Structure 1
Amino acid sequence: MVHKKAAFFGKPVENTEDWKEGARKEDAIASELAASGLVDATEVQVTVEGDEARLMGDVYLREEIATAGNIALGVEGINRVRNGLRAREHSIQSRGKEADARAQTRTL
């Protein structure tokens, strides 16, 4: 077996300690979301860069968006949260209204 120095697109991999810290924070946020029982986090993706967490994906209720952000802020080392979560409840209702509007247009 040949061992090569770790590289990414031909460049040496650097700052892997930062990756470990970010991964630890991501895991902590995901675990807190799952354990809280207040957020349906099955479709939530968490990424961390430095002291900033980014939440992306869907939750079930609109109220869960703020709750998820507060949970993420409660994790040690997180000072800012970019909350890009969407509520499925809202998007389902919106799609239903659009479908109703299209149906009405066709029948008139």
Structure 2
Amino acid sequence: MIIYYDSYCRLCTASSSLWKKLDWRNKLTFQTFRALEDYPAEMEKSLHVQHKGQWSKGYQAIIEIAKLLPALWILLPFLHLFKWLGLGDYIYGKIASHRRLVPVDQCQGDACRIDTKPKP
């Protein structure tokens, strides 16, 4: 499985690092979509995975990842229940729409301010 994650997103990179540690069977490959020359704009909005020619995104991608990581198998019934109830996609959407990107939102005070007034 190839996991296409956003390397500008701290949550995305932290999640990928955790999944990599749990992948003792070496079933996952990680690729930042930012390194691709031409990627679909949809990848900026949600996690994408490709496995055996099939694409999954968002909450469904998390379920597909959990299927390949034995340490997460115990969570699968709950993940599927949340999917069935519509909560999984809803919560995923809320988190994805409020995530912070680097370098966006990383400045404090005037540290990154760009002066738009020309100097005399």
Q: TM-score, normalised by structure 2?
A: 0.25
Q: Highest Rg: 1 or 2?
A: 1
Higher relative contact order (CA 8 A, sep 6+): 2
Higher percent of residues as strand:
1
Q: TM-score, normalised by structure 1?
A: 0.27
